[in-house]
Amino acid sequence: MNGLPAAKGTTVCRFATHAGEPGVIYAANNRGLFRSGDAGRSWKAMDLPWPSPGLADGVAALACLPE
């Protein structure tokens, strides 16, 4: 999928959607947090601080905060 890291060494742990954002999907993995605005056809890394080199044990939860 365009915009996501290479599959080798990447573990997707959580996907999230919101009824108020049709077609938007969030994916969190050991390499960061990614957002798709076109139902998963393409992805963009979100500019958030993320532990380096990633979360070896995966992601326990996602939080969406109002702007």
Q: What is the pLDDT of residue 39?
A: 93
Q: Which residue has the tokens 């979360």?
A: 55
pTM of the shown model: 0.69
Q: Give per-residue pLDDT as tens, 12-64.
A: 678 889 889 999 999 888 888 899 999 999 999 988 776 665 555 555 555 65
Q: What is the pLDDT of residue 42?
A: 93
Query: In Å, how far are 39, 42, 67 from 59, measured between CA atoms?
Result: 21, 21, 23
